[in-house]
Chain A
Amino acid sequence: MKTYAFFPGCAYQSAAGYAESVAALNNRLAIRLKELDDWTCCGATAAFSLDEGDGLALCGRLFALAQKEGHSDIVTVCNACYTTLRKAGKRMTTDPPALAEVSRRLADQGLGLALPLPKVLHYLDLLVAEPFDRRLTGENQVEHGVGAVAVYYGCQYSRPWTTGPEAQHPTMLQRLLSGLGVDVVEHSAGTLCCGASHAVPYADACGPMIGRIVGEIRGKGGRIITTICPMCQFNLDAGQRGLGKDPLPATYFTQMIGLALGIGAADLGLNKLLIPLSTMQKKAP
């Protein structure tokens, strides 16, 4: 069985049960991830906004670390890491001077880059592809009864650097959860933007973005939002103040899959949500 390079990203450690639930699924589904040794920040939107060369070099370092360990893929769990790495990878692949410049800067650290660069995947991409998808159907189905779930991919996962047949209108997570017996609602806010880090300096402008997402999901009957990105989860978990009573819990997709597989809430880190899932359970018929 293949072992994948795992790039957790900086927000993973303090994310609400993401690490716990990914570990639980790795264990249940026999997914082998090896944390990239000595990984560092991808730079996200910040580095690219200030200096392109630095932004490319930060990503280049991660590709080089993966190549040093012989990996052909890097698995991420964050939309920003995923998009930043994919974008930088495409640039370095198609712009030889950019690749040469990054290589020169990495040579000082004893690292090297060679084309083709490792492929960047989201953990979700792993779960919906063979062989793991086959372990997520059939007899695994368990009653969980937590209420209708709305899938929220966030903006960056489905945008220009993604690939595959569902690039711009992803539905794979809805199908995966439905297959596990989860009650999934359809809605049109699945790839809207949550405001990301703009929610800190421009809170007033970003508040309506959260309101639009939550309002659409609530209107279509969703009672739980499930996300695939620490930034989205945080903004939806912490940003529903001022939107009225009964905020909708914002979970990670790995937590919902774990619940559907019968893994306990504590083992999925669900106690770390700001908006507790338990309040919704009480209201479920």
Chain B
Amino acid sequence: MNDPHPDDPFLAHPDCRHILRCIQCGACSGSCPLGAEMDYAPRALFALIRDGDFAGALKSNTPWYCVSCYQCMDRCPQEIPVADIMYRLKQMAVAAGCRPRIHKLPDFYRAFVEDVGRNGRMTESHVMARYSLKHPGDAAANSVTALKLLARGRLNLFPNRSRDPGHVAALTARCRKRGPDA
């Protein structure tokens, strides 16, 4: 496919150029389980971008509330990859150092990739410990559950580890380097 916007880092992406086909029907917003939490549900976010306020879109909490259930993509009559556009916005927000108003999820994702980068595999207790340094309240809310899991042998305290985690350190270098707090 010819790229009509070679210089636009958003529209040049193979997923994102489809936003130009949006007919503003709102099937995406109506399908979104967390749309009520968003600054702009997906339909409104796409309108904002097409109106030219890309900075506003990058700063919004919308892509961070996307839970990747992909229901919007199943239902979009224009076959726009809505959730994948949210991924692109997250990547661009992180790269630009944008701090969304609600920014707990980037911290969670950073904790996740730090653990994977170190061990090659993810260990829930280690991700939670790392995340808790910034958000101790969320750890406290889960402490009772953690004890129950421990009692049933479901909480690994030792890390899951691949044979040579250095391989994965290299493959996660970019997402560990770039982040809202990097």
Contacts and interface: CB of A to CB of B under 8 A. Distances in A.
A271 B152 CA distance: 8
Nearest to A56: B171
Looking at chain B's contact residues, the main secondary structure is: helix
Contact of A50 (B71, B122, B179): B179
A58 B94 CA distance: 19
Given A10-B123, A13-B156, A198-B34, A49 B90 contact: yes
B120 A41 contact: yes
Interface in A220-273: 238, 271-273
Contacts of A202: 34, 37, 65, 104-105
B18 interface: no
Interface string B142-182: 10010011001111100010111101101111110011000
B112 interface: yes
Interface in B66-123: 67-71, 73-74, 81, 84, 87-88, 90-91, 94, 104-110, 112-113, 116, 120-123
B179 A45 contact: no
A105 B34 contact: no
Interface residues of B, number: 63
A53 B95 CA distance: 13
Contact of A45 (B68, B153, B174): B68
- State which size class the interface on A falls in: 35 or more
A61 B149 CA distance: 31
A155 B68 CA distance: 9
B124 interface: yes
Interface stretch (A69-77, A170-178, A188-196): A188-196
A201 interface: yes
A50 B88 contact: no
Contacts of B154: 14-16, 272
The 5 closest A-B pairs by CB, nearest first: A50-B175, A193-B69, A201-B104, A159-B70, A155-B69
Interface of A: 10-11, 13-16, 38-41, 43-55, 57-58, 61, 83, 87, 95, 105, 108-109, 155-156, 158-160, 168, 192-193, 195-198, 200-203, 205-206, 209, 238, 271-274
Interface of B: 14, 33-34, 37, 65, 67-71, 73-74, 81, 84, 87-88, 90-91, 94, 104-110, 112-113, 116, 120-124, 128, 131, 135, 138, 141-142, 145, 148-149, 152-156, 160, 162-165, 167-168, 170-175, 178-179
Given A61-B171, A83-B70, 8 more contacts: A39-B121, A39-B162, A41-B121, A50-B90, A50-B110, A50-B113, A51-B174, A160-B81
13 contacts: A10-B121, A11-B122, A47-B116, A53-B174, A54-B172, A58-B171, A58-B172, A83-B70, A105-B170, A195-B67, A200-B128, A201-B107, A274-B148
